[in-house]
Chain A
């Protein structure tokens, strides 16, 4: 009889605690839901904040990095003398290795018509070092810029590049607007 009593009491306490725990869980989820969004998050680089420090190439958990150079053709000047393709004081304007800025030769230079050349990034070779981006931004239009490419990015809960990015250029963006490709200069924030 007494045993039953203690058992009942224990069950009662257990039930009570269980109830309060579920209330607590409900409270937490309620609070979180109030600010939750249905969309998912992905990481992306703001090209206007990026300073091409080179950490994207070294700090991504992927090797090679999920950060790749993308080329906004709308912005490109199709220059013969491309600051993103050629070394700053290149020996000559050719595709020879000694003139190319890209360490992995990931940029393809294609002649279109005098004096224009199209530049195309081979994503398989690009490792996101941003050397071409730095060149294009300082000498050209800045049509080349770094972006996190989402078919490679594993979308870590905490992006390890974002953690070390010196210019805080990497942030969570909504998955429905997963890229910050430079469309035109109107996107440029006030400096």
Chain B
């Protein structure tokens, strides 16, 4: 082979290798583009098919279709990976050949050339270089300088923003706005409001309440700086809450009511002892609360969230309050499971206003006549089932347990205005339990339970007074409280009796654990209801078991004590009445005739039960 032939050969090889490499490179690019455009693994079509299967769980054809599609998608994915890998090797191979052929080609072609007679003019190029360096240096500095002006130091705005937000770092709050809708008559100052409040004990006439409420609004707008002071002193009294049933599980959320003459026999089918029954417009799992002659419940679906007020005497729906047009609240409600819904938390009322929270993160206050007082959006609670912690109110504050997947916090809003009084970040995960109040050492504490802590907070300041690391899992049951001992439990975790003075564990037990139903402690006894249907009575002091009763149905409702009797509703609408004693004594089994998993509310001689579709009043 002579030199020309070699030259020709290397040239040909180079051309072939070049074309080969370019082709492979283009194919690779195409593949890259395809993969980036539609990741076969995250196929939208497949997700849609599976979603359809949820609607039609028995569609065998659909199943086959999914299987075929899934196989195709996976094949496509692994094929594309194989293609990329193989393509890369082919490209490398082609490139090596190309480089080698080109080198041979050029080295054969190259002759040692006669060096240029006039080489680059050293001096001229140096002068050019000087210019170049100065220009480039100046340009680099100028660009950086310009860029520094074009950029905003957002960190500088942080303090300003948090100052206006008023409450430190609280992430969600920055987007919250308070809307005041209530009427504002010109009237009175802050101090009178306080006096009026203390007078309003017992069931209050709605008209009076309405006036007071308006007064308070005025007070708020006039003397804003005094609001925290007012909040610390005013508010409902223990007598108020005992006369009424103003929160989930009655007075202070402890599950013990003071009312007498409670009926222990009724039958929904025959109508025995059913005083009235009234349909509920929208579904919800919250339990009724009572103030004066009014019963409140809430309901929700994807289209709207509503609060209902019924006349306690005849079951007439007095008014419906709609929680809409709340600033910041997303148009589309978050995804929640069907068995939680958007309205699982129970309402609470302080006799002047009724407060509701929904799974959307909206908190709203109506006056007793259904007029909207304020509303606030707390940010969508990140909760995979749906927010279900009920509200409770004390000392002119609306207390909210807001434990979500993004972390936990307890929030106190001013009952009159909805402004944040305090907010405490908790070292907790998501929780479905509700807050309970208890007077400990002359101070009212807000007791919350969640994974992993049970903790008490000063109602006035929000300060965490104690915290015990003892819970785990998805905590549904709220705490029980009696005689200075807090009882907390959860399925898969443990049942503990805690001393709220120091958070120490008095005893623990893990034989029977509640999943949704809250422990109830009273008079030396502790009642636990497991979700698989066992009702257990323990010695509250030692944790020793007195009795158990396997009812065989699901128990999600919380037990209540009234009139010396223990009332336990099951998920089928059957309420069992027991004697509240160390011995198991079933007094009666009363079928509502409608499924109901809520917790009943009581007033003198009456029980109010929320069924799946109707609100019942039971009495003689």
Contact = CB atoms under 8 A, between A and B. Distances in A.
B63 interface: yes
A104 B76 CA distance: 11
B42 A97 contact: no
Contacts of A64: 81
Contacts of B49: 98
A191 interface: yes
Interface stretch (B65-73, B223-231, B576-584): B65-73
Interface of B: 41-42, 49-50, 53-54, 57, 62-63, 66-67, 70-71, 73-74, 77-78, 81, 84, 384, 427, 452
Which 5 A-B pairs rank lowest in CB-CB distance, beginning with the nearest? A97-B70, A98-B66, A97-B67, A103-B41, A98-B63
13 contacts: A64-B81, A87-B50, A91-B53, A91-B57, A91-B63, A96-B63, A97-B70, A98-B66, A98-B67, A100-B70, A104-B74, A125-B78, A191-B427
- Interface of B: prevailing SS: helix
Contacts of B50: 87, 98
Contacts of B57: 91
Given A97-B70, A191-B427, A63 B84 contact: yes
Contact of A105 (B66, B74, B81, B384): B74
Contacts of A138: 384
A138 B71 CA distance: 27
Interface in A128-162: 129, 138
Interface of A: 63-64, 87, 89, 91, 96-98, 100, 103-105, 125, 127, 129, 138, 191
A191 B78 CA distance: 40
A191 B426 CA distance: 12
A11 B57 CA distance: 89
Nearest to B474: A138
Given A89-B54, A91-B57, A97 B71 contact: yes
Contact of B42 (A89, A100, A103): A103
Nearest to B43: A103
B66 A97 contact: yes
Given A63-B84, A98-B53, A104 B67 contact: no
A104 B53 contact: no
A138 B451 CA distance: 13
Nearest to A138: B384
Contacts of B452: 191
Contacts of B73: 103
Contacts of A105: 70, 74
A63 B81 contact: yes
Contacts of A98: 49-50, 53, 62-63, 66-67, 70
A90 B50 CA distance: 9
Contacts of B78: 104, 125
A38 B490 CA distance: 49
Contacts of A63: 81, 84
B107 to A, nearest CB: 35
* Interface-centre pick from B50, B57, B84 (highest chain A CB count, 10 A): B50
A104 B41 contact: yes
Nearest to B452: A191
Contact of A104 (B62, B63, B66, B77): B77
A104 B78 CA distance: 9
A63 B63 CA distance: 30
Contacts of A127: 41
Nearest to B77: A104
A129 B41 CA distance: 10
A68 B568 CA distance: 49
Contacts of B427: 191
A60 to B, nearest CB: 13
B471 to A, nearest CB: 11
B340 to A, nearest CB: 14
Contacts of B66: 97-98
A19 to B, nearest CB: 30
Nearest to B451: A191
A105 B69 CA distance: 13
Nearest to A129: B41
Contacts of B74: 103-105
A103 B42 CA distance: 8
The residue among B49, B53, B84 with the most chain A CB atoms within 10 A of its own CB is B53
Nearest to A92: B57
A87 B63 CA distance: 14
B403 to A, nearest CB: 14
A89 B51 CA distance: 10
Nearest to B35: A63
Contacts of A87: 50
A3 B272 CA distance: 126
Residue among A87, A97, A138, A191 with max Cβ neighbours from chain B (10 Å): A97
Nearest to B54: A89
Nearest to B49: A98
A129 B77 CA distance: 14
Nearest to B67: A97
Contacts of B63: 91, 96, 98
A100 B53 CA distance: 13
A163 to B, nearest CB: 20
Among B63, B67, B71, B452, find the residue whose CB has the most chain A CB atoms closer than 10 A: B63
